Structure 1
Amino acid sequence: MQNKKVGLDVYRMELFAPDVAAQARPGQFLHVSVHTKGRGSDCYDPLLRRPLSVHGVDVKRGAVALLYRVVGRGTALLARVKEGELLDVLGPLGRGFSLPPAGSRVVLVAGGMGVAPLYFLAEELLRFGHEVHFLAGARRLEELYLLGDLLALEEKRPSFKPSFATDDGSYGFCGPVTGLLEVLLAAVKVDRAYACGPRQMLREAAGVLARFGVPGEVSLEERMGCGVGACLSCACRVREAGGFSYRRVCADGPVFAAESVDWEDR
């Protein structure tokens, strides 16, 4: 297992988990225990696991990659895990992205750490011969995670076309990544879109896709308790024929059709 810092408070962890690697699909996640065992045999702190998107897999090596940013005590503890240590994980969990018909042109829209699951999706789409436009956005250049990886992938795969946006204009398009999405859709016919990032970004992306008539899927980021659909702490409201209903992000998602999410439910 490896756990290396790869950006501003961002780490890439690689786990040896052959069964997980064989089963994981883009958009699914692992529920990772980050607790430090206390003095009592039944004392664990922090208690709740952290949901981390599957960032990549290597089936031959039995490896699963996770990309995460240190934002609190749990992820800070995770960043201190050393090579050779064991981690308690559940997964792969959740409903992942659905792949488009053969020969599709797709666009992936990543906001901040939303790049983590979408990189895995991009690799899978390229493996099946799709043309992939990858839009990555951040507040500033230092927060464009995986910039080097995306540019390197462009050099290896002509059908992979990355573009970048920063709010302060320090790299690429000046403005939100949803603005870059509008520019792309106005110039290129796209068959399907996928997005992951902060809720406000996803809401704006869903609006852009609706205006251009492009079907899309979004991966929602929610706080989770159990991760398997029992506690209902991650419920979100979705539109259905004749009204609304609630779905569990951990078990029924985290991927949903962009047009089905009730973006006003907050």
Structure 2
Amino acid sequence: MKVERKCKIVSKEQMGDAIYMTLECGDMVRTSFKAPGQFVHVKCGEGLLLRRPISVCSCQEDEPQDLLTIVFEVRGEGTQWLANRPVGHSLDVLGLAGNGFTMKPEGRYLLVGGGIGIPPMLGCAQYTSGKSTAILGGRSKDKIILTNCFEDECAKVLVATDDGSLGHHGFVDALVHQELSENNNYDAVLACGPKPMLRNVAKVAEEFGIPCQVSMEERMGCGVGACLVCACDMADGSRKHVCKDGPVFDSKEVDWNA
């Protein structure tokens, strides 16, 4: 069940183009956590009607207040307003929203994050206590964030950059293919990032017969399924809402040609 809370910013850090922000969020995690991969809907400024959906990087139950961390880039007026908020400022936050990844704490997963899709995968890594492998991708070295955090939480971390400035020179699906060729003893592939990346990762997972879940990114309006802004086309011809039915879907559900 989503709750609305006034959440105080307790820390803020710049990571390349991204802002890393930790919030005290009352009992939000205890009340509404389902699984890694959920998001929060943040009110950004008095004059901006729509909230901004931001994936949760990590969260934990704590006393007296739960903690959650969000990582985002400035993409417009709303996120610019959010990036300018100082430590100690309180935000109006609705969450935890959406359905996250279907996972077992004792499971072993191949976690794939691209660009700003990297942060949500950290919560997945923490959930499986060091047994999973992470593959992180971005346009260049400065787009690969949270590497040290993933190294602390994963058995192995691989990196790909489009320009070759760090790790494998190319896209993450090549590393997914390499990893599954060498070791396909994974419960599933879990991915978050741009749609072309997700499509390619899903194709590789299907080639090896490994289940694949993808976190879809669509523009949102209400965040509760009442509007049609975040509709996503499914392979069976239906349309689902990313905010209410997702953001995570089985890759075989998605119409990748839409």
TM-score (norm 2): 0.90
1:41 paired residue number: none
Q: Secondary structure at the match of 2:238?
A: strand
Deviates more, 1:109-118 or 1:61-70: 61-70
CA distance in 1, matches of 2:125, 2:170: 23
Q: Secondary structure at the match of 2:126?
A: helix
When residues 217 and 80 of structure 1 are mapped into structure 2, their CA distance, relative to the original with a 3 A threshold, is same
Q: Secondary structure at the match of 1:2?
A: strand
CA distance in 2, matches of 1:7, 1:20: 26
CA distance in 2, matches of 1:239, 1:194: 19
Unaligned runs of 5+ in 2: 1-8
Give 1:124 deviation, angstroms.
Answer: 0.7
Q: Secondary structure at the match of 1:239?
A: coil
Q: Secondary structure at the match of 2:27?
A: helix
CA distance in 2, matches of 1:203, 1:168: 21
User: Which has more radius of gyration?
Assistant: 1
Deviates more, 1:183-192 or 1:213-222: 183-192
Deviates more, 1:193-202 or 1:139-148: 139-148
Give 1:212 deviation, angstroms.
Answer: 1.1
1:71-97 CA deviation, whole Å, 9 max, x = no partner?
Answer: 222111101111222111111111111
CA distance in 2, matches of 1:187, 1:148: 24
- Which one of the candidate residues 52, 59, 74 is aligned to 1:57? 59
When residues 60 and 103 of structure 1 are mapped into structure 2, their CA distance, relative to the original with a 3 A threshold, is closer
CA distance in 2, matches of 1:32, 1:173: 35
Give 1:148 deviation, angstroms.
Answer: 2.6
2:211 paired residue number: 215
Q: Secondary structure at the match of 2:252?
A: helix
The aligned length equals 245
Question: Does structure 2 retain, via aligned residues, the 8 Å contact 1:3–1:11?
Answer: no
Unaligned runs of 5+ in 1: 38-44
- The 5-angstrom pairing of residues 175-190 of structure 1 reads 175-189=170-184, 190=186
Give 1:238 deviation, angstroms.
Answer: 1.1
Question: 1:19 corresponds to which letter in structure 2?
Answer: D
Question: Does structure 1 retain, via aligned residues, the 8 Å contact 2:39–2:96?
Answer: yes
Give 1:2 deviation, angstroms.
Answer: 2.9
- Which one of the candidate residues 31, 45, 48 is aligned to 1:46? 48
1:219-251 CA deviation, whole Å, 9 max, x = no partner?
Answer: 0011000000000211111123xxx21101000
Percent of aligned positions that are identical = 40
Give 1:176 deviation, angstroms.
Answer: 0.4
Question: Does structure 2 retain, via aligned residues, the 8 Å contact 1:217–1:258?
Answer: yes
User: 1:170 aligned to 2:171?
Assistant: no
Question: Does structure 2 retain, via aligned residues, the 8 Å contact 1:164–1:171?
Answer: yes
2:114 paired residue number: 111
Give 1:172 deviation, angstroms.
Answer: 0.9
When residues 115 and 121 of structure 1 are mapped into structure 2, their CA distance, relative to the original with a 3 A threshold, is same
> Post-superposition, which runs of at least 4 consecutive aligned residues in structure 1 deviate over 4 A?
none
Give 1:3 deviation, angstroms.
Answer: 4.4
User: 1:257 aligned to 2:253?
Assistant: no
Question: Does structure 1 retain, via aligned residues, the 8 Å contact 2:22–2:70?
Answer: yes
Give 1:6 deviation, angstroms.
Answer: 3.0
2:239 paired residue number: 246
Question: Does structure 2 retain, via aligned residues, the 8 Å contact 1:18–1:59?
Answer: no
